[in-house]
Amino acid sequence: MDEMGTVKEISQVSDGFTYPAVDQTIKVTLSNDGGSMFTLRIDNLPGSPTPIAPGIWVVHTNAGALFTPGMEAPDMGLESLAEDGNPAQLADYLASSSGLVTPLAPGAWAVHSMGSLVLFTENAADYGEGLEALAEDGDPSALLASLESKSSVASSGVFNTPSGSSGTGPLFPGSKYEFTFTAEAGQWLSFATMFVQSNDLFYAVGGESGIALWNNGTPLSGDITSKLMLWDAGTEVNEYPGAGLHQPPRINGGMTEGGVVRMVDDGFFYPAVDDVLKVTITPMQ
C-alpha cells in the first residue's frame, strides 16, 4: 500500500517493528588509493539477517544528491531501489545528470602568416614561451609577450573579460568571450584557452598551424567549433579530470611530465568539444 510519506531515518519511524543495528548488518570501508582515487567496500556481515541489494553511487558537490531527509522521495528512481532493490532507474537519472563541468580560462590569440606554428608543434616539446602557464594556470600573459615578439605574427592579444562583465575572469557555462581583429588575405588565426578542470589541457585549432581566414578572397565566417581540439601540453602529469589534487582552483604544481604537445589521450573521459564550447567568427563590414 502506498504510504505518501517522507524520507526518514528508521529511528524516527514508529512502525512497531524492530530492526537490527546497522553495524550488525553492514560494514563500509573507504580507502584512499593515492591522490584523488578512492575505493569503497561494502560487506554484508556474517550473521546479518538480510541480503543487500545492488545499489548506486555518486560523487557530488551539493547536499541532497539522492534525497533530503524529511522530504518526499524525489521521483527519479529512489523508490524502485528502496522497494525492489532495482537501481537501474536511479542510475540512469544520475548518469544523465552527471558529468564534468569546466570553466574556460582567459586565452591568447594571434593573427599570423600561413604555416607559422606560433603556439606549439604537435608531438614536440612545449616551446617554453608561455603555453605552459596558459595550460596549467590559465595565465596567457607570458604567451602574449612571446607572440608579440614573433616576426610572423601580425597582431595578437588576450581574451579575458566575459561579455557583460566589468572585470576579467574565467568563462563559466552560459557566458562568452569576444574579441575583434583585422587580417589580410593569406593570414591565419591561432588561439588557445585552458580546460580549467585539468592539469595542463587546452583548446586550440586541430591543425596547430591555425585557421585560414580567407578562401579565394572570401573571409571566413560562421561556426568554426569543429576545427578545435583538446590538447595536452605535456608539461604536467594528468590526474582524474575535475578531481586532481593539483588542478585549479586547488593546489597547483603537479608532477612534471616532460612530454610533448599532443591531442589528449590519457585514458580519462572528457566531454566532446562541442558540448563545452562554441566558437564563431563574423566578418565586419
> How many other CB atoms are found less than 10 A from the CB of residue 91?
17
Cell digits for 232? 595536452
CA-to-CA distance for 248 and 136, rounded, in angstroms? 8
CA-to-CA distance for 240 and 256, rounded, in angstroms? 16
**Percent of the chain having pLDDT more than 90?**
84
Is pTM beyond 0.85 here?
no
- CATH topology assigned to domain 107-281: Immunoglobulin-like (2.60.40)
* Chain segment 127-178, per-residue pLDDT in tens: 999 999 999 999 999 999 999 999 999 999 999 999 999 999 999 999 999 9
Domain boundaries, the chain: 10-97, 107-281
Would you give the DSSP letter of residue 263? E
Contact yes or no for 102/197 (Cβ under 8 A):
yes
* Chain segment 202-230, per-residue pLDDT in tens: 999 987 789 999 999 999 999 999 999 99
Contact yes or no for 115/121 (Cβ under 8 A):
no
Cell digits for 182? 583585422
